[in-house]
């Protein structure tokens, strides 16, 4: 059996990167901290991390270093997607999802992790997975058993009985309840503790109804203020960041007041919600590409008719909220909700972020250094600086002039290991 050429290159690169100092040079480098583009960059990499950054004219090649010459290409930090579902598929929504077992989810995650990494996404925050399959996937990637991005995993998302994070597809006689369902302040504290016990290093809860759930209203708040306060307090005491799924205005405000680190979707932002997010330094993770995919492909993917109608009501308003929030100075990250659309298309979100208010540099910053800030990992990732992990991607052309170039990433390095090269 012949191995795919990309896999052959990956295996060769892994064995060599582990044993050698790497000297990487390119035509240009995007500096997401300064917001500048540098000519003729050179980077020296040892033991997964960047040890020196300079120009190819001034930074000498170390003796016995492996040289990677990305002539004519632009390098930048690997993308960071702060809202993914690696163990789910874009073709298995609604009742189709009932046929998917937990072991099958885990296997699906292995495929999607590789696809995501090869698309140039070197770090993800996975916010919601059954059976702690995302935790298992993260551990398998860390152990070198499978190929994938760095994963911050939430395990099952917390939600109220009958809410967006519950399983509402079957009638009463089946007594099906979502894994993360908990009602009341002490119950949600217990659920946070349980998730952390089983390996979650992110907590996600559903503050409002959602588009892709049965029988929930997108704008309706679900958890009470007291319950949200308890979730955030419990997670933060353990040093774990919290993401709140929140479309509706009242749920967004309550989650911000509770102290969440990020609001997911943030569809119905009003002036007060924008002011609160800015005051508290709350990040918004807004999946504004997804509306196109849901309205064009959702029915074929098994999405319920009510879900498609909810998206018609939500999509335009979410994009208006994105523009208003960005203009007001609210912090944002790249968050795509992968599995709503096919994995690997993460960068399609970037062109929508530009269309609805950002410059290309600002979109790249949201997809790199801002993600690192949200994860409290700026010493490790998000920029091409000394001491950071060598998570580097490259494209042909200029992503600042045309952000869509990032939809076709030609080179991917994670932790000094080359997984994809031209």
Catalytic residue numbers read 204, 337
Per residue, the 3-state secondary structure of the chain, as one string, reads: CCCCHHHHHHHHHHHHHHHCCEEEEEEEEEECCCCEEEECEEEEEECCEEEEEEECCCCCCCCCCEEEEEEEEEEEECEEEEEECCCCCCCCCHHHHHHCCHHHHHHHHHHHHHHHHHCCEEEEEECCCHHHHHHHHHHHHHCCCCCCCEEEECCCCEECCCCCCCCCCCCHHHCCCCCCECCCHHHHHHHHHHHHHCCCCEEEEECECCCCCCCCCCCCECCCHHHHHHHHHHHHHCCCEEEEEECCHHHHHHHHHHCCCEEEECCCCCHHHHHHHHHHCCEEECCCCHHHHHHHHCCCCCCCHHHHHHHHHHHHHHHHHHHHHHHCCCCEECCCCECCCCCCCCCHHHHHHHHCCCCHHHHHHHCCHHHHHHCCCCCCCCCCCCCCECCEEEEECCCCCCHHHHHCCCEEEECCEEEECC
Beta bridge partners of residue 284, listed in sequence order: 263, 332
Q: Please give the structure tokens belonging to residue 79.
A: 């993308």
Give CA–CA dist 95/114, Å, rounded: 27
Cα distances (angstroms) measured from residue 137 to each of 37, 134, 240: 35, 5, 19
- Burial class (CB within 10 angstroms; exposed 0-12, middle 13-18, buried 19+) of 245: buried
């Amino acid at each position: 059996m012949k191995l795919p050429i990309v896999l052959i290159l990956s295996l060769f690169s892994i064995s060599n990167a582990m044993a050698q100092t790497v000297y990487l040079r390119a035509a240009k480098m995007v500096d997401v901290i300064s917001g500048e583009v540098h000519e003729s960059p050179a980077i020296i990499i040892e033991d997964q991390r960047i040890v020196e950054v300079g120009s190819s004219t001034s930074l000498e090649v170390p003796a016995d270093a492996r040289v990677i010459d990305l002539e004519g290409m632009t390098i930048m930090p690997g993308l960071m997607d702060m809202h993914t579902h690696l163990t789910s598929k874009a073709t298995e929504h609604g009742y189709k999802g009932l046929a998917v077992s937990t072991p099958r989810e885990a296997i699906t995650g292995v495929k999607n992790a590789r696809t995501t990494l090869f698309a140039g996404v070197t770090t993800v925050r996975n916010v919601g997975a059954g059976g702690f399959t995302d935790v298992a996937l993260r551990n398998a990637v860390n152990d070198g058993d499978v190929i994938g991005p760095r994963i911050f995993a939430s395990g099952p998302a917390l939600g109220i009985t009958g809410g967006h994070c519950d399983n509402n597809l079957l009638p009463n006689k089946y007594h099906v309840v979502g894994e993360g369902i908990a009602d009341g302040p002490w119950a949600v504290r217990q659920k946070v503790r349980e998730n952390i016990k089983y390996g979650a290093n992110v907590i996600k809860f559903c503050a409002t109804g959602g588009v892709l759930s049965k029988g929930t209203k997108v704008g309706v708040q679900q958890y009470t203020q007291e319950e949200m306060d308890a979730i955030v307090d419990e997670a933060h005491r353990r040093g774990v960041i919290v993401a709140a799924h929140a479309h509706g205005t009242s749920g967004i405000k309550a989650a911000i007041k509770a102290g969440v680190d990020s609001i997911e979707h943030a569809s119905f932002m009003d002036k007060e919600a924008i002011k609160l997010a800015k005051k508290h330094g709350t990040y918004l993770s807004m999946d504004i590409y997804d509306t196109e995919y849901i309205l064009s492909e959702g029915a074929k993917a098994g999405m319920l008719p009510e879900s498609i109608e909810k998206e018609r009501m939500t999509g335009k308003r979410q994009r208006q909220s994105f523009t208003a929030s960005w203009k007001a100075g609210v912090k944002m990250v790249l968050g795509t909700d992968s599995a709503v659309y096919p994995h690997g298309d993460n960068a399609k979100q970037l062109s929508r972020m530009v269309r609805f208010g950002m410059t290309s540099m600002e979109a790249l910053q949201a997809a790199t250094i801002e993600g690192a800030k949200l994860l409290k990992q700026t010493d490790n990732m998000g920029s091409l600086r000394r001491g950071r992990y060598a998570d580097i991607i490259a494209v042909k052309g200029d992503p600042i002039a045309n952000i869509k170039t990032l939809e076709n990433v030609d080179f991917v390095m994670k932790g000094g290991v080359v997984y994809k090269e031209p």
